[in-house]
Chain A
Amino acid sequence: MEQGPGGAAAGGAGLLLPLSDTEQQRYSELFSLCCSPAPEGGSAPAPAAGGSKVGDLFRASQLPADTLHQITELCGAKRVGYFGPAQFYVALKLIAAAQSGLPVRIESIKSELPLPRFMALKNDIEMRYGNAAEILGVKFQIPHPILEKNSFRRSDEGDKKETKSPPMSPMCSPPASPSNYQRIPLSYGYGKSRSKLEQPHGVSYEARHSTHQQDGPATGNYGSKSALVHSSLSRFLSVESEPQDSSNYPDDPWRITEEQREYYINQFKSLQPDLNSLISGSVAKNFFTKSKLPIPELSHVWELSDVDCDGALTLPEFCAAFHLIVARKNGYPLPDMLPETLLPDYLQPASLKPKRDCALLDSYSESLSVSQQTRDFNRTELETVCEDPTNSEPLILFDVATSIVEPTSVEEMPDKSALTQDANSDDNQALNISTTTKTIPKDFKPSQHLSVKTVVQESNTLKARPRSRSYSSTSIEEAMKKGEEPPMPPPRPQKSHSRASSLDLNKIFQQNTQAVKSGWLPPPPALPPRPFVSQTEQVSEIELHPQMNRAPSQTEESSPMRKEILLTQPPSKPIRRKFRSENQMLENQELTPTSSVTSSLPAVKPHLPAQNRQSSKQKRAIQTAIRKNKEANAVLARLNSELQQQLKEVHKERIALETQLEQLRPVTVL
């Protein structure tokens, strides 16, 4: 591209115009700057540069007006009627020549010249920075995205900028609030940085640096653009990506920029540390009331932003509400319908980007000469820590989004915020800038929109999932139990047993300890029914039916029978576990001492060998459960024996009672 216009310039001017690499890059930058305001300008240099912007640019060169006229005539723009790339390049070269003191002639541009200097640019930025009246306002986003777009449209090497920017900044103005200024020269330097000719142009940078302020939108673009470029360097994933974003950016006050979003997220955090839960209505009301907007307007903001009408704000809803309030404070009338870019669906994936430090928040509140109100927001919010709200089901973190966006450096934030302040002060300028620097934001937020776009669909699906998951995630045990119930039937005893046994352990231990402590003494007859009884009941019943000799009618025996069920099941479980040999041994060991307990045990035994073969196969599959199974096995076996003893005794009691009843009956019948 640089070659082409160079050649074209030659053709247009009727002479060969050799352009050095730096010149070409520089000129192409400038050209696209002048072109970019027009939305249709796009990335192609073919369209003509806007006359007004070119004029501004030329005036920024601080050449006398007649010189500029001469240049214009010479470059052929007047002849052709527009500033095409060729004319523009020739004009730039002539400006450089004029600034170097050479006469404005075609011949003078044949030689190698330093790049033209545009003094006026600096003023524009200074003006913007100087006006620190506004909060993070809508205008933030306008200059930011636009500026970014511009710079990146023409520069394909975001990485190079990154590398170049650090060396650039020290050469320029001191860090302080002019951290913005640090960035400014970068825009100029891009072309040069690529060619690694920073040193010679250091001076020119500073000069341009100072020139920033003077000119209007065209040059103003440079300053803010550079700042933004630098600030978002780390984010550039794809320079040319997302054409649809670029088209949306331009005059969209309802689009939340990255730093705005981070600011909102930090505010959200101050109210509610969990970014996935909700801010209750009262908390939000107190917070937004600090903005000193009239209550009806706040009410309207709430109506717009609380999309699901639940009386609480999720993070995207909160960002939307905050953004609306900020916009309102900046003079934008509240819309009747929530803008598309503020919809929670749209914001949701973006809202879950990596969390910024509170340092960012502090830097925001400091660097922004934001109105005191927002500062009050910050400070009071830090005090009003969330009383925790009516948290409805917590949503699941979207880690996908976080991984995509790279965190920005802390320094970038103050710069941006300062920039935005100044940008806010001049509505018109900002709007103009927005149009002119439209290209920048495209690149400014490639990562964000990548994440937004790519994750939007995921978020939509994910959104549904967390709600369903939240029900099941309420208790892991319940889930485990639920998972155990299906596999209860004999064919899959292992899973259920392995888990149920571990569960059983938890509950059995309590009772076991009692029994063990009592030294195998009979525990109280009414043992509390264990929750896993239902789980184990199915399988155990099958086994126990043949074993059940007693009539289950009496309630006294219902619990012992349950215990029996439990008893029989636990020993069978170990059998069905993966490791069978140890289980078997354990069982045999424990069964032998308790062999005298009941006849149910021997009945259980025949089951064991058959199932051992099954478990042996699966034993290899699951090695980790061996230890647990062993322990459970031992405990359950002990429990089994204990319960068997209890059962025996209870049966004896029953028999005794029955005999008593029979004795008493003839009396009652009479």
Chain B
Amino acid sequence: MAVCVAVIAKENYPLYIRSIPTENELKFHYTVHTSLDVVDEKISAMGKALVDQRELYLGLLYPTEDYKVYGYVTNSKVKFVMVVDSSNTALRDNEIRSMFRKLHNSYTDVMCNPFYNPGDCIHSRAFDNMVTSMMMQVC
């Protein structure tokens, strides 16, 4: 369902970014970048309360006419951003949540790999496969 999936590190640089329509990648990169501001805004707004209570799923960050952008933050300030095609009206919030959960689990598995240095780009095949499974349904 997703058109573009991005994993952004705490320092706001991308660890992993992948989009399905490969010809228009730059547009999605830009979208993800702009959505980071929204993410930060949401984090800071809730951050004054206990961080524990902050929910990981941020919800719809930024709707445009073509697509919607959803966000998800982990407790270590790693952000997942997902761009979804607006034409997929059937996508419900729960589905987005489940997709983020899968992303988070895969990301955790990547982190468990001792050969992965936190902060490196994610090259894990398992992670790629999982993201592909999420994105393939669009095409």
Which of B108, B114, B124 makes the CB contact (< 8 A) with A282? B114
In the assembled complex, the CB of A33 is this many whole angstroms from the nearest CB of chain B, namely 42
Task: Determine the main DSSP class of B at the interface with A.
Answer: loop
Q: Check A114 for interface membership: any CB of B closer than 8 A.
A: no
Q: Are B114 and A303 in contact (CB under 8 A)?
A: no
- Max chain A CB contacts within 10 Å: which of B109, B115, B116? B115
Tell me which of B112, B116, B123, B125 contacts A309 (CB under 8 A): B112
Tell whether A662 is near chain B: CB-to-CB under 8 Å: no
Cβ A303 vs Cβ B113 within 8 A = yes
Do A302 and B125 have beta carbons less than 8 Å apart? Answer: no
Q: Is the interface of A mostly helix, strand, loop or mixed?
A: helix
Instruction: State the Cβ distance, A338 to closest chain B Cβ, in Å.
Output: 10
In the assembly, what is the distance between CA of A221 and CA of B113, in Å?
42
CB neighbours of B126 from chain A (8 A): 303
Also in contact, A298 and B125, with CB within 8 A (given A309-B108, A309-B109): no
Contact yes or no, A336 B108, CB < 8 A: no
Which A258-304 residues have a C-beta within 8 angstroms of B?
A: 280-282, 284-285, 288, 295-296, 298-300, 302-303
Among candidates A284, A288, A303, A311, residue contacting B124 with C-beta atoms closer than 8 Å: A303
With A and B bound together, what is the CA distance between A299 and B115 in angstroms?
5
A284 contacts across to B, CB distance below 8 A:
114
- What 0/1 pattern do residues 88 to 115 of B give for CB contact below 8 A with A? 0000000000000000000011001111
CB atoms of B112 and A311 under 8 A apart: yes
Q: Across the A-B interface, how many residue pairs have beta carbons closer than 8 Å? A: 38
Docked-complex contact B108 and A296, CB < 8 angstroms: no
Contact bitstring A185-210, B, C-beta under 8 A = 1, else 0: 00000000000000000000000000
Does any Cβ of B come within 8 Å of A162's Cβ? Answer: no
**What residues of B have a CB within 8 angstroms of the CB of A280 in the complex?**
114
**Beta-carbon contact of B123 and A302 below 8 Å:** no
With beta carbons under 8 angstroms apart, the residue of A281, A299, A310, A311 that contacts B123 is A299
Residue from the set B109, B112, B126 with the largest chain A CB neighbour count within 10 Å: B112
- Does A306 touch B at the CB level, under 8 Å? yes
Write out the residue numbers on chain B whose beta carbons fall within 8 Å of the beta carbon of A306.
112-113
- With both chains docked as a complex, state the minimum distance between the C-beta of B130 and any C-beta of chain A, in angstroms: 11
Inter-chain contacts of A336 with B (CB < 8 A): 125
A306 → B minimal CB distance (Å): 7
Which chain A residues lie closer than 8 Å to B114 at the CB level? 280-282, 284-285, 302, 311
With most chain B CB atoms within 10 A of its CB, the pick from A299, A300, A306, A336 is A299
What B residues does A310 contact at CB under 8 A?
112
Closest to A281 in B: B114
Docked-complex contact B112 and A281, CB < 8 angstroms: yes
Report chain A residues within 8 Å CB of B115. Answer: 285, 288, 295-296, 298-299, 302
B112 near A299 with CB under 8 A, answer no
Query: Taking the nearest CB of chain A, how far is it from the CB of B110, in angstroms?
Result: 8
Q: Note all chain B residues with C-beta closer than 8 A to A281.
A: 112-114
Residue in chain B with minimal CB distance to A289: B115
Q: Are B125 and A303 in contact (CB under 8 A)?
A: yes
Residue ID in chain B nearest A293 by CB atoms: B115
CA–CA, A280 and B116, complex, Å: 14
Whether A299 contacts B108 in the complex (CB less than 8 A), given A306-B113, A311-B114, comes out as no
Q: What mask results when residues 306 to 325 of chain A are scored 1 for a CB within 8 Å of chain B, else 0?
A: 10011100000000000000
Cα–Cα, bound, A491→B90 (Å):
64
Chain A residue at minimum C-beta to C-beta distance from B111: A311
Contacts of B108 in A (CB 8 A): 309
Q: Mark A410-426, 1 if CB is under 8 A from B, else 0.
A: 00000000000000000
**Residue contacts A-B, CB under 8 angstroms, 17 given:** A281-B114, A284-B114, A288-B115, A296-B115, A296-B123, A299-B115, A299-B123, A300-B125, A302-B113, A303-B109, A303-B113, A303-B126, A306-B112, A306-B113, A309-B108, A311-B112, A336-B125
Instruction: Contacts A299-B123, A300-B124, A303-B113 known; list 4 others, CB within 8 Å.
Output: A281-B114, A299-B113, A300-B125, A302-B113
Chain B positions near chain A (C-beta within 8 angstroms): 108-109, 112-116, 123-126
Question: Which residues on A are within 8 Å of B, measured CB to CB?
Answer: 280-282, 284-285, 288, 295-296, 298-300, 302-303, 306, 309-311, 336
**List of 3 A-B pairs having minimum Cβ-Cβ separation, nearest first:** A281-B114, A311-B112, A285-B114
